[in-house]
Chain A
């Protein structure tokens, strides 16, 4: 072997002896990766802790030099931005159209006065959802008006995303003299004693029934027409409804006596709870309330409906389409629905033969009234979910934003939203608007507002609603008796809501 070859061979031997196996390389790579991640974690923790100490403030002095000469130019109109996220999808399109038209009218007024200012309106159909609000707030891009269910007033107020508007309400009280006459309308817009939102619309949750099925049980037209008033007076209760439902099922006229919503929500659980004397929240402390006795009676009623009398199935897991299809096709006698379903059945094809049903068909086949009192001596009731227009804390001109939110509720605008969306108005004067009076259904259910309740404005209200629904489901399945179920509910409320709920025995 020559020296060159010897050197090459020696080098190869060294190479071979120092070569690491693939497995060793992967193992070492893994250790490198883990070390890098750990280093990153330590750097992240250390960086956060180091940066969390407040930096000392510093004063910056800026000297502004006035221009050397004055040049006169035509002034451009100052723009007041009004941006809105109202949730204006589908039938709620006027939640966007109404503020837009208000701003257009205001701009015309300002131009007529020669004012060098205009409102720059922009909006989307989107709702002010929490994650969007947080992201926009961090980017300092929060719109002026946020539209969401009233239950978000509490969370948004706690997070500092919206501002109280009591001062503006006082300043412009002349614009609000014909406001909704019931106390809950403003209560639903408050959080810890301050008002944060303007009521944009409301609705109600009646009990629907099949007139045609009741006729087959021997009810006359006069009986059917008198039923809503009898319910209102407390003369016809849930006990009566249960016995009628049982009769209809026994005769094979319907598959089920009652349906309720298959997902967590207010009705009928919280309607029964309020009827039994339960309170949902304490306005003074801002805490939720669970009255154990009222929940026990509510659960006993559900147990009677589903397990003892078997007139209602366990509803969780049933699709919404099945619920509406079964009711519209006469397979269910009573349905704890919402006022917007009246319009929905006209626009969505649930009927197996007719598809979308005309309103004349609805008047002939469906009836509606308050949720009857559980027993004699108690009151009928319903529930509502008001929609709120809140003024954000990053509004460039919050007073103008407040005015736009209030002006879009005047009857001319309010009635468009009510008719198109099947909603009830914010103002009492809208009831007497000619277009509203022409709408027979909406005019027929306005009285229900006198008997309505709202869920409480609290960030943990969705938890309360879900736990209540789960408990009702366990009772409907027959898995738990009401006394055990109510104990589990109280225990779960304590664990998941903690100090923010008052449990009353």
Chain B
């Protein structure tokens, strides 16, 4: 490998590992005490009845994965598995939208028996999205003399994640509280021959924060 190639490789590796700063704010509102036995689990669901502003499925998967892993992991059933187990009661257009609807649904013997069988204690409804805004700048790539590709310019954009999780206790039929996670950051891509992206991974940070807060909320 030539020196030039080594430099390019180093720049690319460095660029890949660079991330821009992300500011995160977590809030919590508790309405009742919570606890989770070793036989019980939670499920993290997204609202799908709206035609816009639907929570990204990869965010829900991320929160499920992070809540079900790491230190103090909770037992988490996947959204799809839960929907299948309780089909057709938690489909996009049939899922209960409030506690009264949920109480009506789980008062049915078939449903309550299935919920007992699968051991789900808490439903966590996640709402919110990540949006990208205030994009500015321009970046152009071309092949310069000698056949070397090169990019010049500067790009930047703001990203903001705003998610809220409502936690419902199925056993008691009550809303036990809410946890919200906001994250924002500015991503920039300066390019002087090689573009170097500094990406603000706001959604990932919001996911990690929300998952950690959910663990703390439900465990205590």
Do A and B bind?
Answer: no
* A-binding residues in B (CB < 8 A): none
* B-binding residues in A (CB < 8 A): none
